[in-house]
Chains A and B, each alone.
Chain A
């Protein structure tokens, strides 16, 4: 298969545009790109050759992986090609292969930003899986630190800290007075007392007066 069948094209090679009509009236085809794909290290991935596809220039030419991982892409005219190994779960780095009109090969890393930069890689290609694709978000697990640093918890803990610790740190009587006022305000007084609610319900309002006065008394004492 290494034999490259080179065919001299009679100058009937016409493309819709002048893209290669500059001085290339004779175009040879029949170059091949060869390489080997290394399987991902996954024990339950027995038939990886089926899932792995070799795309040249985004599917313009397609190669298939054999049992041992080798692949050949046939019938390429000379030019520059991006060879991608497509696997649904594993990422392979693409390689740019350049074939000149004399049939010489050069393989280099793909760099779309600095297209003139050349970092050569060996040819025939050796494609190794880089990483496994991470398609999915990991579900959050319940952790104590997450709970403690939750903004709601922090919001509850911080005022507690201000109320309990700060007065002890400062012995200024004026601030004490202020803080007292604040704590008075914060006192829970609007929550209806359970016993009161029940007596209200069961006594049908016959004895609401004494209880309410009791509440008032308590409030006064405060």
Chain B
């Protein structure tokens, strides 16, 4: 034995040393091997994607190709083909999001013709069945402001472009559609009578002109060689004081227009008033062709009858009864007929398919008898804010929880409560057993919290003012609420009470602006059911400067809403919570003047008042303006107060909960453009650090959590995107003793700031940090790229402590050596090949599982998934082999007993020897 130990010992020590040295490599490779990607068979297991196109601007039915489609062009500059039966996107092309991608014309013949941009224009032809580009040509006109009113249409296979110059003339150019070859040069038609109120109904351009009381209705065929003007006194058609011209929403038959509530057609160079009354001023009118002659379709939202649609025969003026109905259950605010197609069945019945677009951006394809074939909620292409809301616990769980809440009461009372809840549990179990599987299969799963709290409701606030409640696991819309007056620009959402406090319901508040007045508009609702609660819809009579939620809840567990208005007055909702205001501070950053003001809120016994206590001017001589202002997420937890260094000392993090990162941008006389990142304490107004990036532009997407910050900017000199990261440390000693609350007002020490910048070899569009319940898990950065991929990067790769060539100690700490370019491997793409077009934001939320963070990416598409930055350490893998492990266990038990038996036999034999 002695021999052996001598031989082994040095080797063992050597082995340990060897292990120590490869330790660093192990750490390094474990980081490089970003094995966080999913398996191929997990596609769609935790994630879903919904494709949208945006509010429909132009739509036409494709009647040529075999697969029935609707071709749509949208406000979001998307050209798409929708399946007629399901409404699914068959294919889509996304143009530039700027004005150069603006779709001016959609025309369907044997191919799709689009005109995009606004001087320069691009004319493209697409294959109708496949959607592939066939030809394109560009057109640039002399720059002038009149091109904004220009009109395009296709007539006899020629593309016509008309530019009206109000008060003087009309310029008309005709091009060969496919080549752009100009047939005749641009012709100028003198027309001094045109103004901004004119309407086009190809090829006629119609205006009301003349002095009041002596007005004329004028119209001209702008494509004919001979200038012919149709002119009639307006009084012949209307006696109304202010006459308005409106085009039809859809017109495929005869040129015509709407004069107030009258339909006027242009036939044989004559105006012809039609004897069909427009039922409602707001009605949408369409002229469509059908087998029995042209039809006039009207739709509006009747106060009594709900959504109403009527049809009249244009020739006879008689009502067509089979196309016309009212439906109270359909909520289609301000309907607009986007496209209509009418055919006739064998039984001489009209069959119409009508695509209706509403003010809430939703599109409905409606068939005969008001049957809605499908609905597309296109408002979701423009999500402004997202809030993840916990579901309430089931009634049974709530009863059990309440059992433990009640502290008072005798032993006997507690015992009876216990018995009661046990009985309820038993009842529930019996009921589920009796109900069987049949009922369970039909009903959707109840909206109750699951064991890991992975099932939530996402409340999505959209640009159109529509609010959606969405199931995060299935992506199904649970409820929707349309607020026509809500302007969601810079709107914020707060969960003021979670569903955790039965019998009180969850409470969510949206603070936005009123569409017309710009004053504050507050919408409070129950996020689980979408019903208004509390203040409901409250229209304030003043503009809001800043809003926040009080950190203390009142007796009803409701967090009060604090509003700071333009006159620096404070409003508390509900007012009863005013005495709870204590140690409350707010800051307001003015975008254009770059001045940040801090306010202290005090309750003087009667009311709460705000006092301006500090202001910081970040304008840098007037040129800078604030682009972003980011503070820490409100409900953030911090797991560790420091980092253990290799020499066993601790480097303490500077965990200032009031820290605000302000990014400013502006021109500079020497360095062209300058980006400044300033860390300001939101309570005291102290500037903790400031960093200047010269020749940089477009600062974007700041991230802020714990003690670290990151932001992106475009490096103009090197022409690349870079991400700057900062980490704030207090040093090897704590500033405040452990356990003491951090105070911004005590001590004016500046933290030690470490920083680095990395090259992002792509164009980032959005960024977010993973969020977990207790922040035990590593932080990962989710970076959305313009290519449509979301890349998950560990913070360790962005860490400012990465040294260029790590010395021994840094190696031991596990720091990756510095590399200027960030790796963006395909394995780290969380949405694999499900490309997400025009991503704008990523939202993350913690789940009940510490390892898992929920992610929702918004943009033109919605994509939901869940990520596990440190892998699912608290959950068995979904491919865990229960079968194998039970077989192995059984085999082991068997082997133990059999060897035991054989050993006993051997013993016996030995004993007999």
Within 8 A of B (CB), among A178-222: 178, 188, 191, 193-194, 218, 221-222
The reply to whether B759 and A112 contact each other, CB–CB distance below 8 Å, is yes
Nearest chain B CB to A165 CB, angstrom units: 13
Residues in chain A near residue B720, CB distance under 8 A: 112, 115
With contacts A75-B122, A175-B1 known, is A137 near B37, CB below 8 A? yes
Complexed CA–CA distance, A183 and B226 (Å): 115
Nearest chain A CB to B893 CB, angstrom units: 10
The reply to whether A17 and B820 contact each other, CB–CB distance below 8 Å, is no
The reply to whether A12 and B143 contact each other, CB–CB distance below 8 Å, is yes
Within 8 A of B (CB), among A25-60: 29-30, 32, 47, 49-51, 53, 55, 57-60
The reply to whether B833 and A88 contact each other, CB–CB distance below 8 Å, is yes
The reply to whether A218 and B131 contact each other, CB–CB distance below 8 Å, is no
Centre residue among B100, B137, B785, B787 by max chain A CB count within 10 A? B787
Complexed CA–CA distance, A113 and B531 (Å): 54
With contacts A115-B719, A139-B41 known, is A134 near B122, CB below 8 A? no
Residues in chain A near residue B833, CB distance under 8 A: 88-89, 133, 135
Complexed CA–CA distance, A54 and B591 (Å): 35
Residues in chain B near residue A149, CB distance under 8 A: none
Q: Determine whether A158 belongs to the interface, using a CB cutoff of 8 Å to chain B.
A: no
**Cross-interface CB contact of A74 among B2, B122, B762, B899, cutoff 8 Å:** B122
Q: Determine whether A9 belongs to the interface, using a CB cutoff of 8 Å to chain B.
A: yes
With contacts A135-B832, A191-B900, A218-B907 known, is A112 near B138, CB below 8 A? no
Q: Determine whether A72 belongs to the interface, using a CB cutoff of 8 Å to chain B.
A: yes
Complex interface bits, A90-101 against B, C-beta within 8 A gives 1, otherwise 0: 010000000000
Residues in chain A near residue B838, CB distance under 8 A: 59
Within 8 A of A (CB), among B467-484: none
The reply to whether A58 and B907 contact each other, CB–CB distance below 8 Å, is no
Residues in chain A near residue B96, CB distance under 8 A: 59-62
Within 8 A of A (CB), among B1-49: 1-4, 35, 37-41
Residues in chain A near residue B879, CB distance under 8 A: 139
The reply to whether B134 and A67 contact each other, CB–CB distance below 8 Å, is yes
The reply to whether B134 and A47 contact each other, CB–CB distance below 8 Å, is no
The reply to whether A194 and B897 contact each other, CB–CB distance below 8 Å, is yes
The reply to whether B38 and A136 contact each other, CB–CB distance below 8 Å, is yes
Task: Please name the residue on chain B nearest to A131 by beta carbon.
Answer: B826
Q: Determine whether B667 belongs to the interface, using a CB cutoff of 8 Å to chain A.
A: yes
The reply to whether A66 and B1 contact each other, CB–CB distance below 8 Å, is no
Residues in chain B near residue A222, CB distance under 8 A: 907
State how many residues of chain A have any CB contact under 8 Å with chain B.
Answer: 61
The reply to whether B130 and A50 contact each other, CB–CB distance below 8 Å, is yes
The reply to whether B132 and A47 contact each other, CB–CB distance below 8 Å, is yes
Q: Determine whether B788 belongs to the interface, using a CB cutoff of 8 Å to chain A.
A: yes
With contacts A86-B787, A175-B4, A221-B911 known, is A50 near B131, CB below 8 A? yes
The reply to whether B826 and A91 contact each other, CB–CB distance below 8 Å, is yes
The tally of CB-CB contacts under 8 A between chains A and B is 164
Residues in chain B near residue A218, CB distance under 8 A: 904, 907
With contacts A17-B673, A65-B133, A172-B3 known, is A55 near B122, CB below 8 A? no
Q: Determine whether B272 belongs to the interface, using a CB cutoff of 8 Å to chain A.
A: no
Q: Determine whether A161 belongs to the interface, using a CB cutoff of 8 Å to chain B.
A: no
With contacts A75-B140, A136-B38 known, is A88 near B835, CB below 8 A? yes
Task: Please name the residue on chain B nearest to A136 by beta carbon.
Answer: B40
Residues in chain B near residue A135, CB distance under 8 A: 37, 826-827, 829, 832-833
Residues in chain B near residue A47, CB distance under 8 A: 91, 130, 132
Task: Please name the residue on chain B nearest to A30 by beta carbon.
Answer: B140
Q: Determine whether A7 belongs to the interface, using a CB cutoff of 8 Å to chain B.
A: yes
Complexed CA–CA distance, A175 and B76 (Å): 84
The reply to whether A62 and B143 contact each other, CB–CB distance below 8 Å, is no
Complexed CA–CA distance, A193 and B904 (Å): 10
Task: Please name the residue on chain A nearest to B131 by beta carbon.
Answer: A50
Nearest chain A CB to B224 CB, angstrom units: 29
Complexed CA–CA distance, A42 and B849 (Å): 41
**Cross-interface CB contact of B1 among A91, A134, A174, cutoff 8 Å:** A174
The reply to whether B907 and A134 contact each other, CB–CB distance below 8 Å, is no
**Cross-interface CB contact of A112 among B35, B136, B761, cutoff 8 Å:** B761
State how many residues of chain B have any CB contact under 8 Å with chain A.
Answer: 74
Q: Determine whether B124 belongs to the interface, using a CB cutoff of 8 Å to chain A.
A: yes
**Cross-interface CB contact of A1 among B40, B136, B765, cutoff 8 Å:** B136
Q: Determine whether A105 belongs to the interface, using a CB cutoff of 8 Å to chain B.
A: no
The reply to whether B39 and A137 contact each other, CB–CB distance below 8 Å, is yes
With contacts A75-B100, A88-B835, A115-B719 known, is A191 near B897, CB below 8 A? yes
Residues in chain A near residue B100, CB distance under 8 A: 61, 75
Q: Determine whether B418 belongs to the interface, using a CB cutoff of 8 Å to chain A.
A: no
Within 8 A of B (CB), among A75-89: 75, 80, 82, 84, 86, 88-89
Complexed CA–CA distance, A193 and B497 (Å): 61
The reply to whether A55 and B787 contact each other, CB–CB distance below 8 Å, is yes
Residues in chain A near residue B140, CB distance under 8 A: 5, 7, 29-30, 75
**Cross-interface CB contact of B786 among A5, A59, A75, A134, cutoff 8 Å:** A59
Complex interface bits, B619-649 against A, C-beta within 8 A gives 1, otherwise 0: 0000000000000000000000000000000
Residues in chain A near residue B834, CB distance under 8 A: 88
Complexed CA–CA distance, A101 and B755 (Å): 38
Residues in chain B near residue A55, CB distance under 8 A: 763, 786-787
Q: Determine whether B254 belongs to the interface, using a CB cutoff of 8 Å to chain A.
A: no
Nearest chain B CB to A185 CB, angstrom units: 15
Residues in chain B near residue A50, CB distance under 8 A: 91, 130-132
Complexed CA–CA distance, A152 and B101 (Å): 62
Nearest chain A CB to B276 CB, angstrom units: 43
The reply to whether A137 and B786 contact each other, CB–CB distance below 8 Å, is no
Residues in chain B near residue A19, CB distance under 8 A: 667, 672-673, 697, 716
Residues in chain A near residue B553, CB distance under 8 A: none
The reply to whether B1 and A178 contact each other, CB–CB distance below 8 Å, is yes
Complexed CA–CA distance, A112 and B785 (Å): 16
Complex interface bits, A116-155 against B, C-beta within 8 A gives 1, otherwise 0: 0000000000000000011111110000000000000000
The reply to whether B101 and A133 contact each other, CB–CB distance below 8 Å, is no
Residues in chain A near residue B127, CB distance under 8 A: 67
Residues in chain B near residue A12, CB distance under 8 A: 143
Interface residues of A (CB under 8 A from B): 1, 5, 7, 9-10, 12, 17-19, 29-30, 32, 47, 49-51, 53, 55, 57-62, 64-67, 72, 74-75, 80, 82, 84, 86, 88-89, 91, 110, 112-113, 115, 133-139, 170, 172, 174-175, 178, 188, 191, 193-194, 218, 221-222
Given contacts A12-B143, A74-B120, 17 further A-B contacts (CB under 8 A): A1-B137, A7-B143, A19-B672, A29-B120, A47-B91, A47-B130, A49-B133, A60-B96, A60-B98, A67-B132, A75-B100, A75-B122, A75-B138, A134-B826, A136-B37, A137-B38, A191-B897
The 28 sampled A-B contact pairs (Cβ below 8 Å) are A12-B143, A17-B666, A18-B672, A18-B673, A29-B120, A55-B787, A61-B100, A64-B93, A64-B136, A67-B127, A89-B833, A110-B761, A112-B718, A112-B759, A113-B821, A133-B826, A135-B37, A136-B39, A136-B40, A137-B35, A139-B40, A174-B2, A175-B4, A188-B896, A188-B899, A193-B904, A218-B904, A222-B907
